[in-house]
Every structure is written in C-alpha cells, then in structure tokens.
Amino acid sequence: MIKKLLSTHLLIAMAMLLVVVLPSCVITKKSVYFTDMPDTAMLRSITPAEFEEPVIQPDDILSITVQTIDPLTTAAINQGPSMPAVGASSALLTGQQVITGFLVDKNGNVAIPMLGVIKLSNLTTYQARELIQQKASAFFKDPTVQIRFANYKITVIGEVAKPATYTLPNEKVTLLDAIGLAGDLTIYGKRENVLLVRDNAGKKEFVRFNLNSSNVFKSPYFYLKQNDVIYVEPGKGKIAANNVGRTQTLAIIGSLLSVLIVALSRF
C-alpha cells in the first residue's frame, strides 16, 4: 500500500515538472530564424527574389520638387498642399503627422500648379519623374525633378515589440526591414506562420511566410509594397503565459496532494 502511494506521489511530481518545462522547450525551439542554415562558418549564398519598383496608386501622396536656377520661379509647385496622416510614422511618433505632397485622386491623376493635371497612376517614381520633367520643360529652362512617396507606409501588428504603422522614406523595403522597425517578434510570435495582407487591383492577397526557413528570401513577396500589412500570430506559448495563474494553482494543488500522500503513507 505504501509503495503504491509513493508511486502515485512520484507520478504527480513528474507530471507537474512536465507542465512547467515543456512549454519553455517548445518556445526556445521555435524562436530561432532560418534554422535550415548551417551552423558553421561555411559560406552559403541564396539568390533573392527580384525587386520590382512599386507603382503609383490612387490615394498615394507624392512629394514632388521641381528645381531650376531661380528657386522662386518654382515656389508654387514645391510648396504643395499639406494633409494630416493618421497613425505612427516611426517607432517613436504616434498621433497625427502632417505630410506635404500631392494626392493621387481616384482616377490616378495629380493636379500640379502651372503644370496642370497629370496622370501618374501605374507609373514608377522614375517614370513619373520623366513625365513631369517633360511637362515642366514647357515653363522652365532645364528643370530638375525629384519625386518620391510621402506616405509609403507599412503596418506591422500582432506579436511584435512595437506594433504600428510606419511611414518609410525608402521604396525598397523587405519583410525583415519591417519586422526590424517593429522591434522584432516577441518570444510568443509564430515565426513559421507570418501573414502578409496586400491590396492588389481591388482584391486582397494573403501570403504566409516561414521565418524558420531561408526560402523566405526567394519569395516574390519578400519585398513589400505600400500599404502592406504584416500580422504575427501568437503561439501556444502565449496561451500558456496567459494561463500562468491556472498553472500556479495546479502546482499548489499538486504540492498539497504530494504532502497529503506522504502524510498518509506514514500512518
């Protein structure tokens, strides 16, 4: 009888140990990026996906600057309208930020003082610069045009350190760049199932990434586009962390049962 009680006591103790240890083992195993890469000094090269320049779309805001020898002649163009942008433009800025630029209307046109209405939708910034420079040459001598996206934004939400909408000055942005801006995934984020949501011709595209594999570099979606949304799902470890109170209660009950069994075994 005593041996049976002691065996039961041992089983309960082992079960409580597994409850505490197993979740941490699972989290540690899945928290490493690119686990298929060799853990040596050996050089391994991967041909990444080809970068495609983003094209201008309706509701984009463009920063357009026309430069000439006399800057006063182009002041009306370069001033541009101002409009508030809702969301965070960087890791430290939240609330409303004023963006200066020209709004692309629903027809893909931009109204620029002196130059008139110019259709820029479906053009890259390089192509748009060439077109605006041609238009400006009718009014100015040897104009130089600079154009970029003023609201090139990426949203990162879910299990990251700093979920927010980030406005970027650079058009060549990768999935890892966005994750880095958001302060990396938390320990509870599912690295094997990161979701990308993209607007494409009025439709939503959904793409899954496995950050445990280096194949992510080969994905045609590795380079992001404006208005992309990245969502990091919580893993089972998050659920376990939220149930820490329940786990502690079970541990206390298990300890009390162990003490009770030991006490009974001595009678």
Residue among 120, 152, 121 nearest 227 (CA):
152
Q: How far apart are CA 116 and CA 114, in angstroms?
A: 6
Residue among 153, 152, 90, 87 nearest 125 (CA):
152
User: What average pLDDT score do residues 13-24 get?
Assistant: 49
User: What average pLDDT score do residues 9-20 get?
Assistant: 49
pLDDT band of 182, cuts 50, 70, 90: very high
> Which superfamily does 61-149 belong to?
wza like domain (3.30.1950.10)
**How is residue 249 annotated by DSSP?**
H
- Would you list the domain boundaries of the chain? 2-29+246-265, 61-149, 153-237
Could you report the per-residue pLDDT of 195-242, keeping only the tens digit for each? 999 988 778 999 999 999 989 999 999 999 999 999 999 987 655 555
Asked whether the beta carbons of 175 and 232 are under 8 A apart, the reply is no
* pLDDT greater than 70 at residue 74: yes
Could you report the per-residue pLDDT of 119-170, keeping only the tens digit for each? 999 999 999 999 999 999 999 888 999 999 988 999 999 999 999 999 888 8
pLDDT for residue 5: 44
CA–chain centroid gap for 13, Å, is 43
pLDDT band of 267, cuts 50, 70, 90: low
* pLDDT greater than 60 at residue 18: no
Higher pLDDT among residues 114 and 5, named by residue: 114
CATH architecture, domain defined by 153-237: Roll (3.10)
User: What average pLDDT score do residues 21-33 get?
Assistant: 55
Q: How far apart are CA 154 and CA 143, in angstroms?
A: 32
Structure-token match 């309208």, residue found: 81
pLDDT band of 194, cuts 50, 70, 90: very high
Asked whether the beta carbons of 91 and 181 are under 8 A apart, the reply is yes
Burial (0-12, 13-18, 19+ Cβ within 10 Å), 235: buried
Asked whether the beta carbons of 121 and 56 are under 8 A apart, the reply is yes
* pLDDT greater than 60 at residue 262: no
pLDDT for residue 93: 40
Percent of the chain at pLDDT exceeding 90:
47
pLDDT band of 88, cuts 50, 70, 90: very low
Taking each helix axis from N to C end, the angle separating 244-265 and 2-29, rounded to the nearest 10 degrees, works out to: 160
3-class state of residue 170 by DSSP: coil
Q: Mind giving me the DSSP string for 116-147?
A: EEEE-TT--HHHHHHHHHHHHTTTSSS-EEEE
What is the overall mean pLDDT for the chain?
A: 78
Same CATH fold assignment for domains 61-149 and 153-237: no
